[in-house]
Homo-oligomer: A and B are copies of this chain.
Amino acid sequence: MATVYEEHARIFKAFCDEKRLRILELLRGGEKCACVLLEQLDLGQSGLSYHMKILVESGVVESRQEGKWTHYKISEKGSSYAGTLLKELTTPNAIKEEKDCCKK
Give the complex CA separation of A8 and B101 in angstroms. Answer: 34
Scan A81-104; emit 1 where CB is below 8 A from any B CB, else 0.
Answer: 011001101111101111001101
**Residue on B with the closest CB to A104?**
B67
Give the complex CA separation of A41 and B16 in angstroms. Answer: 24
Q: Please tell me the number of chain A residues within 8 Å of chain B, measured between CB atoms.
A: 45
Contact A30 B79 (CB under 8 A): no
Question: Footprint of B on A, CB under 8 Å?
Answer: 3, 5-6, 8-9, 11-13, 15-18, 21-22, 24-25, 28-30, 32-33, 35-36, 60, 66-67, 69, 74, 79, 82-83, 86-87, 89-93, 95-98, 101-102, 104
Contact B35 A89 (CB under 8 A): no
| Residues in B neighbouring A104, C-beta threshold 8 A | 66-67, 69
Give the complex CA separation of A91 and B27 in angstroms. Answer: 9
